[in-house]
Structure 1
Amino acid sequence: MTSAAFLIFQPLFKKFIFFVDNIFYMIIYYKRNFFKGKTKLDKVFDFTILRELRKKEGLNIADVSERSGVSSAVISKLERNGQQAAALETICRLARAFSLQTSELLSLAESRAAQKTSETSHKSGGFKFREVQYENVKCLYASAPAGALVSRPEAHKEDFELCWVLEGKLLFSLPREKHKLSSGDAIQFDALQDHQYQALEDTKLIILHIKKNKRF
Structure 2
Amino acid sequence: MNPNDLTLDFSVVRDLRKRAGMTLDDVSQKSGVSIAGLSKLERNQNMIELDTLYRLARVFGLSATDLLNLAESCSAHRKDAETYTSGPFDFEKVGFKGIDCFQAKAKAGGELSKPEAHGDEFEICWLHAGSITIKLPREQHTLKPGQALKFDAALPHSYEILQDSEMTILHLEKTHRF
TM-score over 0.5 for the alignment?
yes
**Is residue 2:148 matched to residue 1:186?**
yes
Letter in 2 for 1:78: N
Query: For the residues of structure 2 that align with 1:156 and 1:142, how far apart are their CA atoms?
Result: 17
Q: 1:50 to 1:160 in 2, by over 3 A?
A: closer
Query: For the residues of structure 2 that align with 1:202 and 1:97, how far apart are their CA atoms?
Result: 51
Q: 1:105 to 1:146 in 2, by over 3 A?
A: closer
Structure 1 residue 177 displacement after superposition: 1.8
Letter in 2 for 1:193: L
Structure 1 residue 210 displacement after superposition: 1.0
CA RMSD of aligned residues (A): 3.4
**What is the number of residues matched between the two proteins?**
159
**Is residue 2:140 matched to residue 1:140?**
no
**Is residue 2:111 matched to residue 1:149?**
yes
Q: 1:41 to 1:192 in 2, by over 3 A?
A: farther
Structure 1 residue 64 displacement after superposition: 6.0
Structure 1 residue 51 displacement after superposition: 5.0
Structure 1 residue 38 displacement after superposition: 8.6
Deviations 1:68-120 (A, max 9, x none): xxxx7xx68736xxxxxx9xxx44x2762783475253044257542222211
* Contact 1:159 1:190 (8 Å CA) reproduced: yes
Deviations 1:106-138 (A, max 9, x none): 044257542222211211002001111111111
> Structure 2: which 5+ runs fail to align?
18-22, 29-33, 58-63
Query: For the residues of structure 2 that align with 1:131 and 1:167, how far apart are their CA atoms?
Result: 18
* Contact 2:102 2:170 (8 Å CA) reproduced: yes
What corresponds to 1:168 in structure 2? Answer: 130
Per residue, is there more strand in 1 or in 2? 2
**Is residue 2:10 matched to residue 1:47?**
yes
Deviations 1:156-194 (A, max 9, x none): 131111111100011211122222211112111100101
**Is residue 2:40 matched to residue 1:78?**
no
Secondary structure in 1 aligned to 2:44? helix
Tell me whether 173-182 or 125-134 shows the greater mean CA deviation.
173-182
**Is residue 2:25 matched to residue 1:59?**
no
Greater radius of gyration (CA): 1
What corresponds to 2:52 in structure 1? Answer: 96
Per residue, is there more helix in 1 or in 2? 1
Query: For the residues of structure 1 that align with 2:149 and 2:35, how far apart are their CA atoms?
Result: 49
Letter in 2 for 1:204: E
* Contact 2:103 2:169 (8 Å CA) reproduced: yes
Q: Percent identity?
A: 35
Letter in 1 for 2:12: I
TM-score normalized by the length of structure 2:
0.71
Letter in 2 for 1:122: Y
What corresponds to 1:28 in structure 2? Answer: none
